[in-house]
Structure 1
Amino acid sequence: MNEYQNDGRVERRGKFAPSEAVLRGDSADVYFHRTIEILEKEGLDPIAVMEVFPNGSGVLCGIDEALALLDKVLPLDNREVWALNEGDAVTSKEVVLRIKAPYRSYGLYETALCGIMASATGWATAARECAGAAGDIPCVSFGARHVHPFVSGRMDYAAVSGGCKGCSSVEGAKLAGIEPSGTMPHALIIVMGDTVKATLAFNRHIDSGVARVSLVDTFKDEAEESLRVAAALGETLKAVRLDTPVERGRVTAELVKEVRARLDQAGHGHVGVFVSGGLTPERIRYFIDKGAPVAGFGIGSYISGARPIDYTADIHEVNGVAVAKRGRIPGITENPRLKRVM
């Protein structure tokens, strides 16, 4: 219990308070509802040990949210929980969570526990792949528009846990304890009719603590637009963002180099070049291998569309007796990396 209180998990857990729908079991597989009903009517509630493990290697994420759920449903005077840490590298079949408590207190939530970590681990692992490819160049998660709004914040939080330096959604940034990151949308520029006009309006009305980054591929040539906004904002402009669509050949290393060169020639060496649009670890490595002077990468669907890394939950002990389904070894699975957290 003391470890749990002293390593910052209590504060992080508070950000992930489970919804009433989750607590009711609305997201649970129906057979768990039926299992709890049967056990209640049979008067059975054994002390059971359940172990949860991934079916693939990756970056563990969602464990703090899983612990928040368990903290809500497990009896305070009859529970023992061990877990790895958010952001730990995990291997296939490694136990990341072990629960020992009356089975009826947590059995209904097996679906939620596995689902939380499956999705989050998939997103965090994809983010780690991008961050690894980028090296010292920061990556920002821009994928909120590619997922349902109920989970966009969780996705962005997982992306930051996996290595992104920022994320675009307000909820994701709040969960991660950072400020949301973003430039400006094409919509603002199109509605206002001109990139420089839109960027100047951004500069007038948005808090000065927000970095001035102008999107420069809407109406004119990217290099020309970059020079226009740099001349208009001067030292205030931090970067330009290239998001050229595939219909126009998308962003290339050569385009980044040209924009960088033209900015430098015009005396705007302080303005960085930020790249977004269809980025993957392979595309990131392409820019780096070509020596493109990229100041940052905005990553969307590679992270948001990452395949979940499935989790499995198995009961390994009932009332002190080692048990397991066929194909699994009865009894506690040793993992010295697990820490007692409740």
Structure 2
Amino acid sequence: MAKLSNDSKLKGVKGMKDSFIDSLARVAGIRIDPKRKFYSATPEEILCGATTDIYFVRTHEILSELGLINTPVMAEVFCRREGVFAGIKEVMDLLEDKDVEVWALPEGSSMQGKEVVLRLKGPYGEFGIFETPILGFLASSSGWATAARLAKEAAGEKPVLCFGARHIHPAVAPVMERAAIVGGCDGASCILAAKLAGREPQGTIPHAMILIIGDTVKAALAYHRLMPPDAPRTVLVDTFKDEAEEALRVAEALGLGLTGVRLDTPGERGGVTPELVKEVRARLDQKGYNHVRIFVSGGLTPERIRVLSEAGADAFGVGSYISGAAPIDMTLDLKEVNGTPLTKRGRIPGETPNERLVKMK
């Protein structure tokens, strides 16, 4: 296995230098830098094997001693339930300089339960130690992408933005919101996530700004005056007064400049209900503000999205439903060893036919 390049030195871990972790001695030599800022793994730590399960290091060391580490194998990964396949870009980056052939579903594809989504061929030592991160990349991103797809399907043609970054560790928030875009979300609020997906971040304004300014209309006017022309003028209307009243006040102040009003009524006040959406829509229309869209957020699920959409909501900000989605379990099995079909009991040895797999590498 190739060692990490000199420009990939580990940060926050002592005793590893640029070494690939291929033995228990190297595991024992790992020392955590007391000045390390965060617990999340760096790209260098993932690439050197520091995020794998220990038994893969033991396996690597034993097979190396026996002269079997480069045994040709074929491995397949299957998903435990249906969903949206995501995370393959990170898998490919992990295996970029490895002597491994890769077949996989295209990212964003629908997958069926027990379907083979990834196939690897090459010397075991080239990828065996990375089984843990490979499965983790796919499991988490596929779970988030699947939740996003369900939210988007519920919304139909109406926009859905991912607002889930605040519910998850910041080190993986960009991964989550990028996966949400893969799953179908129209945008993300997390800056890095949107940039990774080739988009610009989207969002409205927080309650904090309105509270500090002291009045919703004053806050809306300040936003309208100070923000770039291409920033949508969507204003929260649930901070101080009745939502319908605030919606009209803001609409009167901004006129055609107002893009939309956002309803984010907390659960302590009953949350955003279909009745509230209908009332705000009706009152805006009665005053001639038909152009003002209603954006809703706060504890949204596909079921709530459907109901609120029918009531007149035009766009949705979805947070914890996506960020809290369970990973889709992925399982990797060796299916061939030295060119011979061979696997563990309960699995069928040899290549599993799947014409949907695409040669990636």
Same fold, TM-score > 0.5, yes or no: yes
SS for the counterpart of 1:275 is strand
Q: 1:61 aligns with which of 86, 109, 117?
A: 86
Q: Indicate the residue corresponding to 1:232 in structure 2.
A: 253
- Alignment of 1:333 with 2:357, yes or no, is no
Q: Indicate the residue corresponding to 1:146 in structure 2.
A: 167
Return the letter of the residue paired with 1:94: E
* Alpha-carbon distance in structure 2 between the residues aligned to 1:52 and 1:199: 51
Give the drift of 1:295.
0.9
- Alignment of 1:41 with 2:65, yes or no, is yes
Q: Indicate the residue corresponding to 2:20 in structure 1.
A: none
Give the drift of 1:56.
0.6
- Alignment of 1:29 with 2:53, yes or no, is yes
Structure 1: 5+ residue runs without aligned partners? 1-17
* Alpha-carbon distance in structure 2 between the residues aligned to 1:47 and 1:237: 63
- Give the alignment of 1:233-252 within 5 angstroms: 233-252=254-273
- Give the alignment of 1:307-318 within 5 angstroms: 307-318=326-337
Q: Indicate the residue corresponding to 1:8 in structure 2.
A: none
More helix by share: 1
* Alpha-carbon distance in structure 2 between the residues aligned to 1:91 and 1:144: 28
* Alpha-carbon distance in structure 1 between the residues aligned to 2:166 and 2:86: 21
Q: 1:176 aligns with which of 197, 211, 215?
A: 197
Give the drift of 1:262.
1.4
Return the letter of the residue paired with 1:325: K
- Give the alignment of 1:1-342 within 5 angstroms: 19-44=43-68, 45-72=70-97, 74-75=98-99, 79-288=100-309, 291-342=310-361
Identity %: 57
Structure 2: 5+ residue runs without aligned partners? 1-41
TM-score by length of structure 1 reads 0.91
SS for the counterpart of 1:101 is strand
1:275-320 deviation digits (Å, cap 9, x = unpaired): 11111011112224xx311110111111110111100001111121
* Alpha-carbon distance in structure 1 between the residues aligned to 2:153 and 2:263: 22
1:141-168 deviation digits (Å, cap 9, x = unpaired): 1111001001111111111111111111
* Alpha-carbon distance in structure 1 between the residues aligned to 2:65 and 2:229: 62
* Alpha-carbon distance in structure 2 between the residues aligned to 1:212 and 1:42: 66
Matched residue pairs, number? 319
1:161-205 deviation digits (Å, cap 9, x = unpaired): 111111110111112211111001111111211111222222222
* Alpha-carbon distance in structure 2 between the residues aligned to 1:21 and 1:69: 11
Give the drift of 1:128.
1.0
Q: Indicate the residue corresponding to 1:7 in structure 2.
A: none
SS for the counterpart of 2:294 is strand
1:247-296 deviation digits (Å, cap 9, x = unpaired): 111111111111111112222111100111111011112224xx311110
SS for the counterpart of 1:96 is strand
Return the letter of the residue paired with 1:175: L
* Alpha-carbon distance in structure 1 between the residues aligned to 2:75 and 2:224: 54
SS for the counterpart of 1:269 is coil
* Alpha-carbon distance in structure 1 between the residues aligned to 2:122 and 2:223: 54
* Alpha-carbon distance in structure 2 between the residues aligned to 1:249 and 1:186: 17
Root-mean-square deviation (CA), in Å?
1.2
SS for the counterpart of 1:294 is coil
RCO higher in 1 or 2 (8 Å CA, sep ≥ 6)?
1
Give the drift of 1:91.
0.8
TM-score by length of structure 2 reads 0.86
Give the drift of 1:70.
1.4
Return the letter of the residue paired with 1:330: P
* Alpha-carbon distance in structure 1 between the residues aligned to 2:79 and 2:212: 47
Q: Indicate the residue corresponding to 2:22 in structure 1.
A: none
Return the letter of the residue paired with 2:287: A
* Alpha-carbon distance in structure 1 between the residues aligned to 2:353 and 2:293: 49
Give the drift of 1:231.
1.5
Return the letter of the residue paired with 2:140: S
